[in-house]
Amino acid sequence: MRETWYVLDDGSAVDPREVVRSADGRLGDRNGVAVAMRGDVPMSRGVDPDEERAKAELAKQKRETPPIKKEEKAAPETTVVEETPEKTKAVEAEKPKGGYKTRETKAE
């Protein structure tokens, strides 16, 4: 069975039971994300509530789980390579070519 849920500014859908009106009169979810508006009308879409609740639970778990720190890797040893002086050639800029030339007209 499908239900009509509000669409938030971030593009996600939210259950209408989770939407509250703020002090300034705007609709938003309990986390403070505003409901997207089309003119003066809140946007909504038909969703499968079980799928959306599963998505919301997964997102909630991701927000609550602290990121796992990766172990710092030791810097690889570097070898010093002796550099030999190379012969460099002086570079000169190209001389400017003539500008655009039009066909000559034969005016008699």
Q: What angle do CA 88, 94, 100 make, to 5 degrees?
A: 165
Please name the residue that has the structure tokens 């599963």: 54
Judged against a pLDDT cut of 70, whether residue 78 lies above it is answered with: no
- Report the 10 Å Cβ neighbour count for 49: 13
Most confident among 11-15, 41-45, 64-68 (mean pLDDT): 41-45
Whether the predicted pLDDT of 57 surpasses 60:
yes
Strand partners, 19: 29
Per-residue pLDDT tens digits for 1-25: 889 999 999 888 888 988 999 888 8
- Mean pLDDT score, 28-37: 88
Q: What is the 3-state secondary structure (H, E, C) of 13-48?
A: EECHHHEEECCCCCEEECCCCEECEECCEECEEEEC
Torsion of CA 47, 51, 56, 60, to 10 degrees: 180
